[in-house]
A and B are shown apart, each in its own frame.
Chain A
Amino acid sequence: MTQPTGRTVRQRLFGANTLWIGLVLLALIAVFGAIRPDAVLTTFTLQTTLVETSVLLVLSVGMTFVIITAGIDLSVGSVLVFSGVTSMITMNALNGGDATTAGWGTVLVGLVTALVSGAAWGLLNGFLVARAGIPPLIVTLGSFGAALGAGQLLSNGSNVSGVPDVLSDNLGTGTWFGVPNLVVLAAVVTAIGALVLSTTAFGRHTYAIGSNEEAARLVGIGVTRHLVKVYLLAGTLAGLAGFMALAYFRVASVTGHDTDNLNAIAGVVLGGTSLFGGAGSIVGTVLGVFIPAVLRKGFVIIGVNVYWQPIAVAIVLVAAVWFDQSRRRARNRR
């Protein structure tokens, strides 16, 4: 459906899909802002909302690529946990069991460990999906359980502490001209992801496979190889997200990431990426990830009843996708 070639950057960024979902986001901010301007429209709320969404955003960038190929990756939250645990255990092992006072060298080793751990799971997913031909839903449901189990096995089922202070103080809570460093990192990853998807051959092949895998094969795209790379990318980004979560929470948590995968999928789909593949954008994903985040935050600030909050979030999510779908159907009929 989407043909990124031959369109200007402007058209790509402000394609009708993302524009619409962007308006929903603005409307939400406007409504919350009108009710509590003193609490919503502040630097503090902006900063904290951005920081709290950074980790999920990095997961969702990888998820966007996977979903555009008409695949799915349920394992990202578990891979995040696994990578955090291996990274933390490695850093602790290098420093006699407690890396709290360790230096940048240790942090670098930790980062590489997290990325490699994530990449390993991504590679495994990719091989099973592309080479063995097992449906991605089943493959990643398997790695969802296995990665979490492996993480718990390594950590003996409890959270691993000892995050180096230099890591948590700089990446976790540090700012750069007022912008939290975690947000800067997430923004850089997102920007690279957006450029790769919309301007490179890698991105075009991703769309092509999602639109019609057989056609992509016939025009000479190495589909198997490309799919492996896409899952590898999602896994590596989940590894990076695990490292970011370490810096942010100051502990490698083995529980509490059970629904990260669903949150990432919801953000991606809300951003206009089709679950059937072939259509979608990173810009849409950014907007889609922020809608639930803004809703949750706004509801707490304006004091919506706690039992209503999940219902209200669910209604807005489903309604947004429904309007988007009907608008697209109307356009296609024209």
Chain B
Amino acid sequence: MSTRTVALLGAALLLTACGGGGQIGDTGGSGDSKKVVLIPGVAAEPFYISMECGFREAATALGYQVDVQAPAKFDSTLQTPIVTGVLANKPGAVLIAPTDDKAMAGPVKQLKDAGIKVVEVDTKLEDTSIAVSTVSSDNEQGGRLAAQTLATLAQDKSGSVLVLNTKAGTSTTDTRARGFEDEVKKFPNLKYIGQQYTDNEPDQAASKVTATLAANPDLIGVFATNLNTGEGAATGLRNAGKTGAVNLIGFDASPKQVEDLRGGVVQALIAQDPAAIGRIGVEQAVAALEGRTVKRDIGTTLLALTKADMDANEKYFYKQEC
């Protein structure tokens, strides 16, 4: 090991030690307990912006000050410094969407150790002892809803049904796919032909849809478990001249997806309710601060949007700004 490596390691250790919680606790807690901070998974994404809107509204209504600090990318190395920065200001509570279920455990635990109430929103840590509450979409219900919506759209026609998933081992999308798989079996006219992984690449999603069409010309529905798979599936169906003929069900309701729903590229969207996640997250955080009972796990419901009923459900569209 060279001297430089040793020096670097030493510096890194020193930094870790400094961040280890000693100094903050010693300052005597001069923080602002009437303040709640939201740390989303990534900046400028419609899903998190909508969550922020619900968060701001609810916190202000309850008489709390708000602050939002988002990392530029969905990456734990970018989220960690934000967490430590927020820790220095010592707010009463923090709502966070951890970008990694293990790597974020350390920084988030520092928040807890400094007496800050932590509520997980959207995603969660593997270590369930840190947060007082976890508010996230019930992804399994979302998957089941997708199957029911597909059955409605297909009416009584029968045919094959495909699930386009992202990467094997992604917990949220795997849960959506599982919910779909369980529910679709209840409809005898829908023949479930399994799922395909796409590595979250639109071009792979497009190619797997056309390959499936070649092998199963009776394809009647595709459930794409996230934005990229939905985009790729739409491209594949368009190239095959099957837009509209095959029912495409997407997940989430960002502006471009809503536009595609209106344009008939997608037949249904399973929308999460990020505003409710933000609102309920604040309510739980405030309950914890004021010593009332807190519910440990809360699953928010999802909603199916189709072209016919989309205008009545406009409030479920994700927002670019509040």
Which A positions have Cβ atoms within 8 angstroms of B?
36, 39-40, 42, 44-45, 47-49, 51-52, 55-56, 152, 156-159, 161, 172-173, 180, 248-251, 253, 255-259, 293, 296-298, 300-303, 306-307, 309
Shortest distance in angstroms between A186's beta carbon and chain B's nearest beta carbon? 13
Do A40 and B200 form a contact, CB below 8 Å, given A157-B43, A161-B256, A253-B231?
A: no
In angstroms, Cα B202 to Cα A258, docked, is: 11
In angstroms, Cα B207 to Cα A55, docked, is: 13
Residues of chain A with a CB closer than 8 A to B64's CB: none
Residue B212 lies at the interface, judged by CB distance under 8 Å to chain A: yes
Do A300 and B215 form a contact, CB below 8 Å, given A157-B43, A256-B203?
A: yes
Among A39, A52, A253, A255, which residue has its beta carbon within 8 angstroms of that of B215?
A39
Residues of chain B with a CB closer than 8 A to A156's CB: 44
| Among A47, A48, A309, residue most surrounded by chain B Cβ atoms (within 10 Å) | A48
Shortest distance in angstroms between B239's beta carbon and chain A's nearest beta carbon? 6
Shortest distance in angstroms between A45's beta carbon and chain B's nearest beta carbon? 5
Enumerate 18 A-B pairs (CB-CB under 8 Å) in ascending A order: A36-B215, A45-B214, A48-B214, A55-B203, A56-B203, A157-B72, A172-B238, A173-B238, A249-B202, A249-B232, A250-B235, A251-B231, A256-B200, A256-B231, A256-B232, A259-B199, A296-B208, A306-B168
- Asked if residues B194 and A306 are in contact (CB atoms below 8 Å), the reply is yes
Residue B197 lies at the interface, judged by CB distance under 8 Å to chain A: yes
Among A158, A172, A293, which residue has its beta carbon within 8 angstroms of that of B254?
A158
Shortest distance in angstroms between A164's beta carbon and chain B's nearest beta carbon? 14
Residues of chain B with a CB closer than 8 A to A249's CB: 202, 206, 231-232, 235
- Asked if residues A44 and B256 are in contact (CB atoms below 8 Å), the reply is no
- Asked if residues A248 and B259 are in contact (CB atoms below 8 Å), the reply is no
- Asked if residues A307 and B256 are in contact (CB atoms below 8 Å), the reply is no
In angstroms, Cα B211 to Cα A322, docked, is: 28
In angstroms, Cα B229 to Cα A255, docked, is: 11
In angstroms, Cα B207 to Cα A298, docked, is: 10
* Closest partner residue, chain B, to A156 (CB atom): B44
- Asked if residues A256 and B201 are in contact (CB atoms below 8 Å), the reply is yes
- Asked if residues B44 and A256 are in contact (CB atoms below 8 Å), the reply is no
* Closest partner residue, chain A, to B235 (CB atom): A249
Which B positions have Cβ atoms within 8 angstroms of A?
42-46, 72-73, 168, 194-197, 199-204, 206-208, 210-215, 227-228, 231-232, 234-236, 238-240, 254-256, 259
Residues of chain B with a CB closer than 8 A to A296's CB: 204, 207-208, 211
- Asked if residues A255 and B200 are in contact (CB atoms below 8 Å), the reply is yes
In angstroms, Cα B82 to Cα A157, docked, is: 18
Shortest distance in angstroms between B287's beta carbon and chain A's nearest beta carbon? 33
Among B72, B199, B228, which residue has its beta carbon within 8 angstroms of that of A253?
B228
* Closest partner residue, chain A, to B202 (CB atom): A256
Do A52 and B203 form a contact, CB below 8 Å, given A42-B214, A44-B240, A255-B228?
A: yes
- Asked if residues B196 and A306 are in contact (CB atoms below 8 Å), the reply is yes
* Closest partner residue, chain B, to A46 (CB atom): B214
- Asked if residues B42 and A157 are in contact (CB atoms below 8 Å), the reply is yes
| 16 additional A-B residue pairs with CB within 8 Å, beyond A296-B204, A300-B211 | A39-B214, A48-B211, A52-B206, A56-B203, A152-B72, A161-B259, A248-B235, A251-B256, A255-B200, A257-B201, A258-B201, A297-B214, A298-B211, A300-B212, A300-B215, A301-B215
In angstroms, Cα B240 to Cα A48, docked, is: 7
Shortest distance in angstroms between B93's beta carbon and chain A's nearest beta carbon? 26
Residues of chain A with a CB closer than 8 A to B197's CB: 306, 309
Residues of chain A with a CB closer than 8 A to B199's CB: 259
Residues of chain B with a CB closer than 8 A to A47's CB: 239
* Closest partner residue, chain A, to B238 (CB atom): A173
- Asked if residues B202 and A52 are in contact (CB atoms below 8 Å), the reply is no
Shortest distance in angstroms between B321's beta carbon and chain A's nearest beta carbon? 11
In angstroms, Cα B228 to Cα A256, docked, is: 7
In angstroms, Cα B241 to Cα A180, docked, is: 13
The 4 closest A-B pairs by CB, nearest first: A300-B211, A48-B210, A157-B44, A301-B215
Residues of chain A with a CB closer than 8 A to B45's CB: 157-158
Among A52, A172, A250, A303, which residue has its beta carbon within 8 angstroms of that of B210?
A52
Shortest distance in angstroms between B147's beta carbon and chain A's nearest beta carbon? 19
Do A173 and B239 form a contact, CB below 8 Å, given A256-B201, A300-B196, A306-B196?
A: yes
Residues of chain A with a CB closer than 8 A to B235's CB: 248-250
